[in-house]
Amino acid sequence: MKNDWIEVDNTLQKTFALSDFKEALAFTNMVGEIAERLQHHPDICIKDFNKVSIATSTHEEGNIITTKDRDLVDAIDNLNIS
């Protein structure tokens, strides 16, 4: 996990700034594909047309950060975005 994810209220959170809405939407879809593959689904929100905020915790473990969350954020960080 890269250092730019922050822990807030038992969730890992990060906001990505993309160039425009189209790129933000494409990124959101890529995150969705990862989530489906890992069967671990984060909260995702597009704000201000180009910012994608992601928050993840493991609900079935009592809304805490687990290995599932760390694996998810690592996979997201490995996406090739410009």
For residue 26, what is the domain's CATH number? 3.30.1360.20
Res. 27 pLDDT band, cuts 50 70 90 = very high
Q: What is the pLDDT of residue 39?
A: 96
> Does a structural domain hold residue 28?
yes
DSSP H helices in the chain: 21-38, 67-77
Q: What is the pLDDT of residue 80?
A: 74
Residue 81 pLDDT > 80: no
* Structural domain count, the chain: 1
**Domain range holding 68?**
6-77
The answer as to whether 82 is a domain residue is: no
**Does any domain span residue 12?**
yes
Find the mean pLDDT for residues 62-69: 95
35 located within any domain: yes
Q: Which residues pair with 11 in a beta bridge?
A: 8
Tell me, yes or no, whether 50 lies in a domain: yes
Distances (CA, A) of 48 to 21, 31, 32: 9, 18, 20
